[in-house]
């Protein structure tokens, strides 16, 4: 009953029929190449001999369709909260019970090596195929296979080995750990052992699902050191394990689909990125790991679609916290695990966004040549890495980390050996949450008080890129520091991007440059050219190439004739003695085929007037002023950030915003003042608490 009915109907009933439609129904299920290397003795003891690949008896499905009361959920607003689900017994005193305290198995070098070997032949094959030029792989974004619909970016269970797809049935319904029946009654999930219990089977029975964490009586007893005997299942009924349990006891794999294609022989393959359970990392399971936590490994493999069992859902902490009824196959993934260096790294949410965007940009049908290119690179790179692993720092891989070429190699090494517990298990107080939201770095969900300006920028850019001949489009934005100039432009660009994704606006390219981050004004040509074409040339050459490009227009080439939006922050830094840099940049938009839009940002209001007349005539026409915030606006900015956090008095916010508005109207300053105030209070509270502790002890 953990499952929502929707999902059950989607994945199961189709499975039998679609198998016939499958052009090449391979009778013996292919085995995913990678997993074989994992230490066999542990698992082989647990193998149960029933090699049917996708067992889904009708009986269980029907039971499932009938029985789906709402899964009791607890919503805790802390991000690593637990989706309360219903489970089937995992630990009992029986013979086939799973030892919960698995000895941590670290994927050692040997294993890494083996995995690689499994992959390499495949990529070579693909290279050969391409060179023959007969048939090519066809890439898909979405495949309906074996009754399930799989898209790029989905997470799936993958069979680990043929025999390991063990149990008779593939239960989607949990049974109560006490009475071993599923039934309609509400069940609750223990946060420790993930076992499910009927509310009425508990001793004493519970009326409703309690708030917060809940741990079952068995786990509590075990924690206090007592021997625990779980109730045995009734005779004749075999204990069944869900896929989730199998995964967490490493009888299955979970992967993230990166790409899918049809091989020349008609079989479907996908490239998967493995997920790793905490036990398989070098650090082992750490006390703060959640039961449903997985790590994303930086390890890929090509897998045949046959070995997919079904979908699972791996979420980031935010989604996981708000997960409701996805059922049993929900997992949390917050960290990436580097299998070479055995280190952890947080997954960046921003990273995700960018990837999504790129995917959306490129076309639906990927050209196979593109992909095999990247494959080749991958292999090279892996080999390189292996060299480093086994021969230490060999001559070949001696690339300095700070030079551009070597960057990809060096930065991989950075990561924690263990995830520090204090980061995870720390419960934030109100004040700490206030401090976190007041950070300058945290981007607010909405940008209050700049609606008019945002609208103006949007209409400017839209007008420029929708126009076929955008002539002389320059916007000069000025305002004192901390009034949201850059932020507004970037927000507009984010909105536009989503519109491009939705197909309402033509695609464009966006180049962002900060004048203060350039070593010299001339370097801007190089940076622009690199951003547009991806090639690195020196600045003189870049100027020449850019001049050609913008004055003559571009002939052919993909994506190149997209309009280009150039955002130059701190424009005043580009002013040289003869002002040629600014002149060149501002002259390009006036060329008929340039399709260039320039947005300049600076602090001074009269920058165009200080420049040569030929520049100011090109730049000074369209201007946008970001005035300093007044105190109401600052107040609104602060209080929208602090919404839902009860840490500040209203007068305090007003005081801070009035003071800042009187001096500079700098939003950064106001936020910092509030954060500092919270910090001081926090300091006082913590100090007095520690003093009390000392006094009492």
Q: Which of 294, 306, 193 is nearest to 247 (CA)?
A: 294
Asked if 316 contacts 294 with a C-beta cutoff of 8 angstroms, the reply is no
The three-state secondary structure class of 307 is helix
- Min dist. Cβ of residue 643 to other proteins (A): 19
Asked if 417 is part of the footprint of other proteins (rule: CB under 8 A), the reply reads yes
The residue from 94, 205, 210, 410 that contacts other proteins (CB under 8 A) is: 410
Q: Which stretch binds other proteins (CB under 8 A): 103-111, 305-313, 430-438, 629-637?
A: 430-438
Helix 580-587 / helix 523-533 crossing angle, nearest 10 deg: 30
- Min dist. Cβ of residue 347 to other proteins (A): 8
Query: Which secondary-structure segment (H or E) carries 385?
Result: helix 368-391
Asked if 181 is part of the footprint of other proteins (rule: CB under 8 A), the reply reads no
Asked if 512 is part of the footprint of other proteins (rule: CB under 8 A), the reply reads no
Task: Using the minimum distance from each CB to other proteins, give the nearer residue, 179 or 537.
Answer: 537
Q: What are phi and psi of 98, to 5 degrees?
A: -100, 130
The residue from 224, 392, 427, 441 that contacts other proteins (CB under 8 A) is: 441
The three-state secondary structure class of 392 is coil
Give me the DSSP letters along 383-426. HHHHHHHHHSS-STT---TTSTTTHHHHGGG--BSS--HHHHHP
Task: Using the minimum distance from each CB to other proteins, give the nearer residue, 559 or 627.
Answer: 627
- Min dist. Cβ of residue 409 to other proteins (A): 9
Angstrom distance (rounded) from CA 339 to CA 109: 9
Facing residues of 159 across strands?
Answer: 252
Asked if 60 is part of the footprint of other proteins (rule: CB under 8 A), the reply reads no
Task: Using the minimum distance from each CB to other proteins, give the nearer residue, 277 or 419.
Answer: 419
Give residues with Cβ within 8 angstroms of 132, minimum separation 6.
none
Asked if 75 contacts 322 with a C-beta cutoff of 8 angstroms, the reply is yes
The residue from 23, 445, 503, 516 that contacts other proteins (CB under 8 A) is: 516
Asked if 251 contacts 164 with a C-beta cutoff of 8 angstroms, the reply is yes
- Min dist. Cβ of residue 480 to other proteins (A): 7
Handedness of CA 372, 374, 379, 380 (dihedral sign): positive
Asked if 415 contacts 344 with a C-beta cutoff of 8 angstroms, the reply is yes
Following CA atoms 564, 569, 573, 574 in sequence, which dihedral angle do they give, to the nearest 10 degrees?
10
How many residues bind to other proteins according to rule CB under 8 A? 65
| Binding characters for other proteins, 228-247, by CB under 8 A (x = yes) | --------------------
Q: Which stretch binds other proteins (CB under 8 A): 35-43, 166-174, 558-566, 668-676?
A: 668-676
Site for other proteins in 675-694 (CB under 8 A): 675-676, 679, 682-684, 686-687, 691
Asked if 679 contacts 687 with a C-beta cutoff of 8 angstroms, the reply is no
Q: Which stretch binds other proteins (CB under 8 A): 26-34, 206-214, 345-353, 359-367?
A: 345-353
Task: Using the minimum distance from each CB to other proteins, give the nearer residue, 119 or 575.
Answer: 575
Q: Which stretch binds other proteins (CB under 8 A): 222-230, 266-274, 370-378, 662-670?
A: 662-670
Facing residues of 338 across strands?
Answer: 343
Asked if 695 is part of the footprint of other proteins (rule: CB under 8 A), the reply reads no
Angstrom distance (rounded) from CA 299 to CA 294: 14
- Pairing between strand 196-198 and 293-304? unpaired
Task: Using the minimum distance from each CB to other proteins, give the nearer residue, 15 or 412.
Answer: 412
Q: Which of 659, 674, 682 is nearest to 439 (CA)?
A: 674
Asked if 490 is part of the footprint of other proteins (rule: CB under 8 A), the reply reads no
- Pairing between strand 293-304 and 473-479? unpaired
Asked if 442 is part of the footprint of other proteins (rule: CB under 8 A), the reply reads yes
Asked if 663 is part of the footprint of other proteins (rule: CB under 8 A), the reply reads no
- Min dist. Cβ of residue 688 to other proteins (A): 8
Site for other proteins in 599-658 (CB under 8 A): 603
Q: Which stretch binds other proteins (CB under 8 A): 384-392, 462-470, 514-522, 559-567?
A: 514-522
The residue from 39, 93, 151, 411 that contacts other proteins (CB under 8 A) is: 411
Q: How many CB atoms lie within 10 A of CB 121?
A: 11
Angstrom distance (rounded) from CA 641 to CA 643: 6
Angstrom distance (rounded) from CA 386 to CA 111: 12
* Token pair of 48 as six digits: 């149960």
The residue from 66, 369, 443, 471 that contacts other proteins (CB under 8 A) is: 443
The residue from 39, 151, 229, 439 that contacts other proteins (CB under 8 A) is: 439
Asked if 549 is part of the footprint of other proteins (rule: CB under 8 A), the reply reads no
Give residues with Cβ within 8 angstroms of 534, minimum separation 6.
none
Asked if 423 is part of the footprint of other proteins (rule: CB under 8 A), the reply reads yes
Q: Which stretch binds other proteins (CB under 8 A): 42-50, 200-208, 216-224, 477-485?
A: 477-485
* Token pair of 593 as six digits: 């085929």
3-state helix/strand/coil string of 462-498: HHHHHCCCCCCEEEEEEECCCCCHHHHHHHHHHHHHH
Q: Is the peptide bond preceding residue 253 cis, with omega within 30 degrees of 0?
A: no
Asked if 55 is part of the footprint of other proteins (rule: CB under 8 A), the reply reads no
Task: Using the minimum distance from each CB to other proteins, give the nearer residue, 169 or 432.
Answer: 432
Q: Which stretch binds other proteins (CB under 8 A): 195-203, 265-273, 383-391, 666-674?
A: 666-674
Q: What DSSP state is assigned to residue 591? A: S
The residue from 312, 608, 672, 677 that contacts other proteins (CB under 8 A) is: 672
Q: Which stretch binds other proteins (CB under 8 A): 195-203, 366-374, 440-448, 577-585?
A: 440-448
* Token pair of 676 as six digits: 């500092």
Angstrom distance (rounded) from CA 642 to CA 456: 28
Asked if 388 is part of the footprint of other proteins (rule: CB under 8 A), the reply reads no
Asked if 188 contacts 199 with a C-beta cutoff of 8 angstroms, the reply is yes
The residue from 115, 291, 310, 345 that contacts other proteins (CB under 8 A) is: 345
Asked if 298 is part of the footprint of other proteins (rule: CB under 8 A), the reply reads no
The residue from 529, 669, 674, 677 that contacts other proteins (CB under 8 A) is: 669
Map tokens 């069979």 to a residue.
159
How far does the chain reach from its first CA to its final CA, in angstroms?
51
Task: Using the minimum distance from each CB to other proteins, give the nearer residue, 379 or 490.
Answer: 490
Task: Using the minimum distance from each CB to other proteins, give the nearer residue, 410 or 613.
Answer: 410
Q: Is the peptide bond preceding residue 204 cis, with omega within 30 degrees of 0?
A: yes
| Binding characters for other proteins, 570-589, by CB under 8 A (x = yes) | x--x----------------
Task: Using the minimum distance from each CB to other proteins, give the nearer residue, 249 or 385.
Answer: 385
The residue from 248, 294, 474, 518 that contacts other proteins (CB under 8 A) is: 518
Chain residues binding other proteins by CB under 8 A are 343-348, 350, 393, 398-404, 406-407, 410-411, 413-417, 419-420, 422-423, 426, 432, 435-436, 439-443, 480-482, 514, 516-519, 523, 527, 570, 573, 603, 664, 666, 668-669, 672-673, 675-676, 679, 682-684, 686-687, 691
């Amino acid at each position: 009953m953990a499952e929502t009915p929707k999902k059950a109907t989607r994945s199961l009933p189709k499975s039998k029929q679609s198998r016939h439609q499958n052009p090449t129904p391979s009778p013996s299920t292919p085995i995913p190449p990678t997993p074989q290397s994992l230490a066999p003795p542990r698992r082989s003891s647990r193998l149960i001999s029933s090699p049917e690949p996708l067992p889904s008896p009708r009986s269980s499905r029907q039971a499932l369709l009938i029985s789906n009361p709402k899964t009791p959920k607890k919503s805790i607003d802390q991000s690593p909260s637990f989706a309360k689900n219903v489970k089937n017994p995992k630990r009992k005193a029986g013979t086939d019970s799973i030892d919960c305290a698995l000895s941590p198995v670290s994927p050692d070098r040997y294993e890494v090596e083996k995995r690689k070997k499994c992959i390499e032949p495949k990529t070579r094959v693909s290279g050969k195929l391409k060179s023959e030029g007969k048939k090519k792989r066809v890439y898909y974004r979405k495949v309906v296979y074996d009754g399930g619909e799989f898209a790029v970016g989905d997470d799936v269970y993958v069979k680990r080995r043929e025999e390991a797809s063990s149990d008779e049935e593939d239960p989607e319904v949990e049974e109560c750990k006490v009475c071993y029946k599923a039934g309609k009654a509400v069940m609750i999930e223990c946060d420790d052992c993930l076992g499910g219990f009927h509310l009425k089977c508990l001793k004493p029975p519970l009326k409703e699902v309690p708030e917060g964490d809940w741990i079952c009586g068995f786990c509590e007893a075990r924690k206090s050191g007592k021997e625990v005997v779980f109730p045995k299942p009734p005779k004749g009924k075999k204990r069944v394990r869900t896929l989730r349990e199998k995964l967490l006891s490493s009888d299955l794999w979970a992967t993230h689909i990166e790409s899918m294609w049809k091989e020349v022989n008609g079989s479907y393959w996908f490239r998967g990125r493995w997920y790793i359970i905490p036990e398989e990392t070098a650090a082992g399971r750490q006390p703060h790991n959640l039961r449903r936590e997985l790590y994303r490994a930086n390890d890929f493999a090509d897998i045949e679609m046959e070995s997919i069992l079904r979908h699972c859902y791996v979420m980031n902490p935010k989604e996981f916290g708000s997960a409701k009824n996805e059922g049993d196959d929900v997992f949390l993934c917050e960290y990436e695990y580097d299998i070479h260096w055995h280190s952890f790294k947080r997954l960046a949410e921003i990273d995700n966004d960018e990837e999504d965007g790129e995917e959306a940009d490129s076309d639906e049908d990927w050209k196979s040549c593109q992909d095999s290119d990247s494959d080749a690179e991958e292999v090279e790179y892996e080999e390189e890495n292996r060299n480093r692993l086994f021969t230490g720092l060999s001559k070949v891989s001696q690339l300095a980390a700070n030079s551009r070429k070597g960057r990809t190699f060096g930065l991989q090494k950075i990561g924690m050996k263990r995830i520090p517990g204090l980061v995870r298990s720390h419960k934030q107080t109100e004040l700490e949450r206030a401090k976190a939201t007041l950070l300058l770095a945290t981007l607010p969900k909405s940008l209050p008080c700049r609606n008019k300006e945002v609208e103006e920028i949007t209409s400017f850019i839209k007008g420029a890129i929708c126009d076929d001949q955008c002539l002389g489009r320059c916007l000069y934005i000025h305002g004192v520091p901390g009034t949201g100039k850059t932020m507004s432009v970037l927000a507009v660009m984010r909105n536009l991007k989503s519109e491009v994704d939705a197909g309402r606006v033509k695609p464009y390219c966006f180049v962002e440059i900060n004048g203060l981050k350039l070593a010299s004004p001339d370097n801007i040509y190089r940076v622009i050219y690199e951003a547009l074409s991806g090639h690195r040339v020196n600045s003189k050459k870049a100027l020449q190439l850019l001049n050609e490009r913008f004055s003559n227009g571009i002939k052919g080439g993909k994506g190149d004739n997209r309009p280009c939006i150039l955002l130059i922050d701190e424009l005043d830094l580009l002013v040289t003695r003869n002002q040629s840099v600014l002149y060149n940049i501002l002259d390009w938009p006036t060329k008929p085929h340039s399709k260039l839009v320039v947005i300049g940002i600076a602090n001074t209001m009269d920058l165009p007037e200080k420049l040569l007349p030929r520049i100011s005539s090109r730049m000074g026409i369209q201007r946008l002023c970001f005035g300093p915030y007044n105190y109401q606006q600052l107040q609104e900015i602060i209080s929208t950030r602090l919404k839902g956090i009860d840490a500040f008095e209203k007068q305090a916010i007003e005081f801070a915003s009035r003071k800042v508005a009187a001096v500079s109207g700098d939003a950064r300053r106001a936020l910092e003042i509030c954060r500092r105030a919270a910090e001081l209070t926090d300091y006082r509270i913590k100090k007095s608490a520690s003093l009390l502790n000392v006094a009492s002890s």
